[in-house]
Structure 1
């Protein structure tokens, strides 16, 4: 069970810290309100890199159903572990988002002037321009590079501190280079699970959870993840 516990805890930490940095930047009475996009990007890259360093030697630090599925399709991960990994990741993302809501509860209740779209953006991604074909394309390309890059780094720096730093760097460079269109979800455990939390928990003025868009940051990353893993096999 250690690999599943590692995936659960790693994804929980990733979402707690990643969604937490978004809440820090958005909610009205946060001391770091309006810190800007670079603040959020640095927070997110470390939110991925820190648990990767903690759990890579245990489970491989997938923390992403797309990563697990892409590796399995490419023959790089056993299929009999896929469902267990995915369940652990989705549960970890859900619990991490619940903890963000609890941590910032007084701020959620005292941010009446924060637009509903911004409150939703704490939990999950929203497109800058709503164009489903291009939004889907953005998620496919970003996730393809994520898988290809992370697998390439794992080959060069297997389970090492240097490798962990490069994992954080991949998230940062994808965010700075490709993140402005959709918010670069690349991970259903980081987008779908927290979106469900947003839909369930009471938040003053939270608005819609935008379920009509919710499939894009799931299907796009699934396609991109498979392409990235297959590209890695072809190149390496």
Structure 2
């Protein structure tokens, strides 16, 4: 595959992933949405189907990784050339930012109404009220639509949760094998992976929101920081390293375990 194929496949696929994944969170969180209050099950299935659609879109062009952590694991396992890794990761980050921007476009009116709601504004702690930064992060009221955050702020536990969740995702993908082209999952593998994402969300997503993908978290967090949203609050950059380092570590461990146990 050419560099252009990789760029188009990973950028478009990751953009679709974030558009649909971030979109389901926006629909559940924003009060003026018809899906408001649908809950965690809807979010978990929404993200699973988002992975499915993004991967099917990307697969004809690239390995349909859509995830820098998975890209690393595939490079260790041999499914992606090491020389292509920077292009994959750069394309995935760009796609994640495009997808996050489109979520804002699709829900623009709901964002404005939500951030003007007196109840929402009253629930946000003031700078002076943040006594313990470990339990009261400076995260704005809509940041969760764009990126992840912990329910209990404990960096070691949060990091381990992301490592474990990503390990499960990556080992499930690697043990399915590559498609006939040798560069990614086949059609059935993509469907299975979508349900693995749902399983991770339902089983392991509660503590941190299960980033399990550095681009999925970092790209939208950058967009949140840049968007002209009044009363949006902070982007919680103090936490941002965990959903980047954790997935990379989990993916590397999964790839190493695969090489030892299955290769």
Tell me the TM-score range normalised by the shorter chain: over 0.9
Q: 1:74 to 1:154 in 2, by over 3 A?
A: closer
TM-score by length of 1: 0.95
Moved segments of 4+, more than 6 Å: none
Q: Which residue of 1 aligns with 2:97?
A: 94
- Matched residues in 1 for 2:143 and 2:97: separation? 15
Q: 1:77 aligns with which of 75, 80, 99?
A: 80
Q: Which residue of 2 aligns with 1:16?
A: 19
After alignment, is 105-114 or 120-129 more displaced? 105-114
- Matched residues in 2 for 1:159 and 1:90: separation? 21
Task: Say which structure is richer in helix.
Answer: 1
Q: Which runs of 5+ in 2 are unaligned?
A: 124-138
Q: 1:165 to 1:75 in 2, by over 3 A?
A: closer
- Matched residues in 2 for 1:229 and 1:38: separation? 29
Q: 1:97 to 1:156 in 2, by over 3 A?
A: closer
- Matched residues in 1 for 2:186 and 2:90: separation? 26
Structure 1 or 2, whichever has the larger Rg, is 2
Deviation at 1:103, TM superposition (A): 1.2
- Matched residues in 2 for 1:195 and 1:64: separation? 15
- Matched residues in 1 for 2:236 and 2:28: separation? 21
- RMSD over aligned CA atoms reads 1.7
Q: Which residue of 1 aligns with 2:231?
A: 205
Q: Contact (CA 8 Å) 2:20, 2:46: kept in 1 or not?
A: yes
Number of aligned residue pairs: 236
Secondary structure of the residue that 1:33 maps to in structure 2?
A: coil
Q: What does 1:63-212 align with in structure 2 at a 5 Å threshold?
A: 63-111=66-114, 112-113=116-117, 114=120, 117-155=140-178, 159-212=185-238
After alignment, is 118-127 or 72-81 more displaced? 72-81
Deviation at 1:33, TM superposition (A): 0.5
Q: Contact (CA 8 Å) 1:8, 1:92: kept in 2 or not?
A: yes
- Matched residues in 1 for 2:101 and 2:72: separation? 25
How big is each residue's C-alpha offset from its partner over 1:104-139, in whole Å with a ceiling of 9 and x where there is no partner?
111111113346644110000010110000000000
Q: Which residue of 2 aligns with 1:2?
A: 5
- Matched residues in 1 for 2:223 and 2:158: separation? 23
Secondary structure of the residue that 1:29 maps to in structure 2?
A: coil
Q: Which runs of 5+ in 1 are unaligned?
A: none
Q: Contact (CA 8 Å) 2:178, 2:186: kept in 1 or not?
A: no
Deviation at 1:155, TM superposition (A): 4.8
